[in-house]
Structure 1
Amino acid sequence: MTAGLPEPVRHGDLRVSHDEREAVVERLNTAAAEGRIDLGELDVRLELALNARTYADLAPLTADLPPDVPLNQEPLVLKGGMHGESRTGRWEVPGRITVYGGMGSVKLDFTQTDCRLPEIQIEAQGQMGGITIIIPDGWAAETSRMDSGLGGFTNKTTPQRLPRTPLVRLTGSGGTGGVVIRHPNSWERRKQRRLQER
């Protein structure tokens, strides 16, 4: 070894990033939803993943799991057109959704869905009508790749994410109509409680 040069570092000793920890957390949540690991083991592995410092810490947590299958199904495509479009109530949530606000706007309401996916990818193009996305309390949104456009982008969600809930990855542009992602407002919460009481 040449004098003055640092010793080579083994791959397992390299430090992991926040994104790499999050990817393992997502894979573990998926494995639990598939019945590959039980909830007790999930909690243990999640704790280890969140505190992992190196690849050697992280690798064993998914070593006995098959590779995660990428989202390859056709995305749900919604277009506001002239008269608007919405998805509310109980509906089947796919892993990928593409939304165009059009002239009439689009509303996506996930609050009554029974979604067990670890992640939902939404491409939102606000266009003229704009887009409103409503996610339940406990769901979190990752919006760093959203462009505000002329109409703006507003994220009114809280960063706290409950275990075994989807992470919404939002990309796209606010266009001229704007894009808003939020949790239910007080009127929507009252409406949901009335529906649950029936």
Structure 2
Amino acid sequence: MTDASRAPVPHPDHDPGLRASDADREAVAEVLREAAGDGRIDLSELHERLERTFEAKTYGELAPLTADLPGHRAPTAPPPPPSVDQPMVLKTGAGDITQTGHWEVPRRISAHSRMGSVKIDFSQAVCRVPEVALEVKAGMGDVTIVVPHGWSVRTHGVRAHVGSVRNKAVEPPAPGAPTLEVTGSLALGEVLVRYPNRWEQWLRRRDGGA
């Protein structure tokens, strides 16, 4: 008999009206079969619950079928991806913050570094918006921005008092590629925009990236 602990672990607080899949129904059925094998429900109740399981259309119809069984709950819908309209805020005092890997790029990002460093790596991110607004504020800290080849980057909106702004991502933009608009201010810090370096490219290839 299949180990019932392999049934999907639910995410709480999701809409019970969402449609369930065949895999969801089969996961609940396996939990019920395991419960019958343990003597928690009898065979007639197992038969009745299995009928209800395979007739269920939504998560809300599946949930009651395992609610009284210890350690099991009906599967629920996975959480939705974060909205592109929800700003991302990266803020540090003297520490380091790195945003990298596979992530969803919002329309607006704020990167604040008083004495530490912030690194934002867009090279493997999913960007569904044509323009991204990035506001930087750096006291004595640094902000490093890594963009894929083909992106258009504008940094003329950054005010540097004693610090520096260096944009090394100056290749001609690819048609349809996103535009990154960088604004903000820095005192003694540095803002650096660049493409992925050889070490970052090697790590991506090692991890199976393109």
In 1, Cα distance between equivalents of 2:140 and 2:206: 34
CA displacement at 1:174 relative to structure 2: 3.0
Give the structure-2-normalised TM-score. 0.56
1:169 to 161, 181, 184: 181
Q: Which protein is bigger by CA-based radius of gyration? A: 2
**Residue 204 of structure 2 aligns to which amino acid in structure 1?**
Q
Alignment correspondent of 1:129: 141
Give the alignment partner of residue 119 of structure 1, picking from 131, 148, 163. Answer: 131
> Is 2:90 aligned against 1:78?
yes
1:147-189 per-position Cα deviation (integer Å, ceiling 9, x unaligned):
2221211111124111222100011123212111111112112
Separation of aligned partners in 1, 2:147 and 2:105: 12
Structure 1 residues 197 and 101 mapped into 2: Cα distance closer, same or farther (>3 Å)?
closer
Equivalent residue number for residue 143 of structure 1: 155
> Hey, what's the Cα distance between the residues in 1 that align with 2:136 and 2:143?
7
Correspondence 1:99 to 2:111: yes
Structure 2 matches for 1:49-68, cutoff 5 A? none
Aligned match of 1:108: 120
Amino acid at match of 2:121: D
Report the alpha carbon displacement of residue 197 of structure 1 after superposing the two structures with TM: 5.6
Alignment-mate amino acid for residue 184 of structure 1: P
CA deviation vs aligned residue, 1:59-96 (integer Å, no higher than 9, x gap): xxxxxxxxxxxxx9342111122222121111121000
Amino-acid identity (%): 40
Q: Amino acid of the residue matched to residue 195 of structure 1?
A: D
- The answer to whether the 8 A contact 2:94-2:113 is kept is no
Conservation of the 8 A alpha-carbon contact between 1:122 and 1:169: yes
Consecutive unaligned residues in structure 1, runs of 5 or more: 1-71
Q: Is the 8 A contact 1:152 1:179 kept in 2?
A: yes
Residue 161 of structure 1 aligns with an amino acid whose one-letter code is P
8 Å CA contact 2:169, 2:195 repeated in 1: yes
Q: Is the 8 A contact 1:116 1:164 kept in 2?
A: no
Q: 1:146 touches 1:171 (CA, 8 Å); kept in 2?
A: yes
CA RMSD of aligned residues (A): 1.9
Q: Out of 167, 171, 180, which is 1:155 matched to? A: 167
SS at match of 1:111: coil
Question: Is the alpha carbon distance of 1:197 and 1:147 closer, same or farther for their aligned partners in structure 2, counting shifts above 3 Å?
Answer: closer
Distance 1:174 1:185 in 2: 24
**2:181 is the counterpart of 1:192:** no
